[in-house]
């Protein structure tokens, strides 16, 4: 499969934020979110076999692995890679845009799944049937650019009865003040976890390898 980078850093998002984590970043994405910060992963990359990826992963001491992209579910061997990493005793997470079928993954893989809001320009691509395959260990992420996105996200949570899941709300970097989003959440007492992308504060000028 095509890989952009494999590196160790701290997990910057989700309820696992702050933990040492090995990132396997695949190449390519079939969405073009208006605020995407991973455009460098759209093209290029190098071809790796599953044993080659595992060999690289084993060079780092962390026991948590995140499969990310781009869109990792575009790579047909991702479910197999996830399974082999699980068998080696790793905790395996996947970060997906939410528009590809997650049912191909073993149920032990922790899914961090986006629901794309209107300002992303890709909200018509959300694959709603994926909600049927999420379990309580999985997390749903809304990246919010403005008040319309916020209201839309609230409606989606209510409509699909998502309150029992770990819900993550992030503000789009440079488009919505984190403080503003926090104030909206507090005013509504919304049962969501506000999150900042930790790695962007630790390494503000670095795009790759963090």
**Position 70 contacts ligand SF4 (CB under 6 A):** yes
Q: Is residue 189 exposed (0-12), middle (13-18) or buried (19+ Cβ within 10 Å)? A: exposed
Looking at beta carbons only, is 68 or 166 nearer to ligand SF4?
Answer: 68
Q: Per rule CB under 6 A, is residue 69 in the interface with ligand SF4? A: yes
**Which pair of structure tokens corresponds to residue 150?**
């916020």
Q: Give 31 or 62: the residue with its C-beta nearer to ligand SF4.
A: 31
Q: Nearest distance from residue 5's CB to ligand SF4, in Å?
A: 13
Of 29 and 65, nearer to ligand SF4 (C-beta) is 29
Tell whether residue 175 is a contact of ligand SF4 (CB under 6 A): no
Smaller CB distance to ligand SF4: residue 45 or 70?
Answer: 70
Smallest separation, CB 39 to ligand SF4 (Å) = 7
Closer to ligand SF4 by Cβ: residue 70 or 79: 70
Footprint of ligand SF4 on residues 25-54 (CB under 6 A)? Answer: 29, 31-33, 36, 38
Q: Which residues contact 96 (CB under 8 A, 6 or more apart)?
A: 71, 72, 73, 102, 111, 112, 113, 114
Task: Closer to ligand SF4 by CB, 29 or 85: give it.
Answer: 29
Tell me the per-residue interface mask from 79 to 118 with ligand SF4, x by CB under 6 A, - otherwise. ------------------x---------------------
Residue 122 C-beta: closest distance to ligand SF4, Å: 6
| CB 50, min distance to ligand SF4, A | 22
**Where on the chain is the footprint of ligand SF4 (CB under 6 A)?**
29, 31-33, 36, 38, 69-71, 97
């Amino acid at each position: 499969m095509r890989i952009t980078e494999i590196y160790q850093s701290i997990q910057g998002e989700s309820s696992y934020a702050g933990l040492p984590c090995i990132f396997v970043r695949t190449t390519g994405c079939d969405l073009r979110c208006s605020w995407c910060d991973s455009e460098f992963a759209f093209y290029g990359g190098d071809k790796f076999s599953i044993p080659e990826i595992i060999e690289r992963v084993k060079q780092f001491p962390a026991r948590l692995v995140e499969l990310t992209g781009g869109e990792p579910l575009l790579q047909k061997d991702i479910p197999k890679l996830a399974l082999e990493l699980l068998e080696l005793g790793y905790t395996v997470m996947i970060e997906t845009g939410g528009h590809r079928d997650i049912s191909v993954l073993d149920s032990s893989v922790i899914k961090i799944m986006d629901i794309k809001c209107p300002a992303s320009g890709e909200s018509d691509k959300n694959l709603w049937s994926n909600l049927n395959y999420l379990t309580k260990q999985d997390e749903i992420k809304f990246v919010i650019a403005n008040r319309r996105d916020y209201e839309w996200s609230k409606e989606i949570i209510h409509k699909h009865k998502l309150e029992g899941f770990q819900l993550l709300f992030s503000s789009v970097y440079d488009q919505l003040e984190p403080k503003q989003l926090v104030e909206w959440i507090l005013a509504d007492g919304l049962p969501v976890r506000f999150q900042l992308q930790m790695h962007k504060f630790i390494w503000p000028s670095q795009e790759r390898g963090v």
